[in-house]
Amino acid sequence: MCWRTFHYARILVAVGLIAGCNKPEPTVTVNDPPGKNEDANQVVKFMSHQRDQGMIDDMAITDIHFRGASHFLSGAGEARLERYAELLATTGGELHYDTRLTDMTLVNARLQSARDFLNQARIGSQHIELVLGKPQGRGMDATESIAGQGVAKQPEKRESAYKLSNDDAN
């Protein structure tokens, strides 16, 4: 009886050691340093395009793009406005500052700070206006959300990111 228990214990230890020696596959994140993982570069390129599309639809900055209760832009605010300057260099456009603040002195100081930054970061000749108001993006209705879930559930590889089914009749 003791021999059998000892034998099973040795088997369990061996299985545990073998299972513990397997190296996990490296993960791919967008925060990997350049050159560490080539797959990460593909993820970054894909996500950058998606982020830009969302920014163009939103066309807004909010209170999180400023430091605390000041009129100074945060790092995220500078990065966002710099990207808007790049995206709107050839077309121009109107950005909105969406805020819940009631102190109009601070709101106007923030608007001016953001305008100054945009004028300094401007690449093209087109004017980018910054006004107080809600984002003008239309958002997403339920059918688009459901269609997006259908795309996400498709098995890889698909010919197009927007192909919703395998039915060629559509």
Stretch 125-132: mean pLDDT, rounded? 89
Rounded Cα distance between 72 and 78, Å, is 10
* Domain covering 62-139, topology: 60s Ribosomal Protein L30; Chain: A; (3.30.1330)
User: If you average pLDDT over every residue of the chain, what do you get?
Assistant: 77
Rounded Cα distance between 104 and 87, Å, is 29
- Between residues 103 and 31, the one the model is more confident about: 103
Stretch 8-24: mean pLDDT, rounded? 65
Report yes or no: 72 and 66 within 8 Å, Cβ to Cβ.
yes
Rounded Cα distance between 170 and 51, Å, is 29
| Total-model pTM | 0.60
The confidence score (pLDDT) of residue 164 equals 47
The confidence score (pLDDT) of residue 168 equals 47
How sure is the predictor about 139, in pLDDT bands with cuts at 50, 70 and 90? low
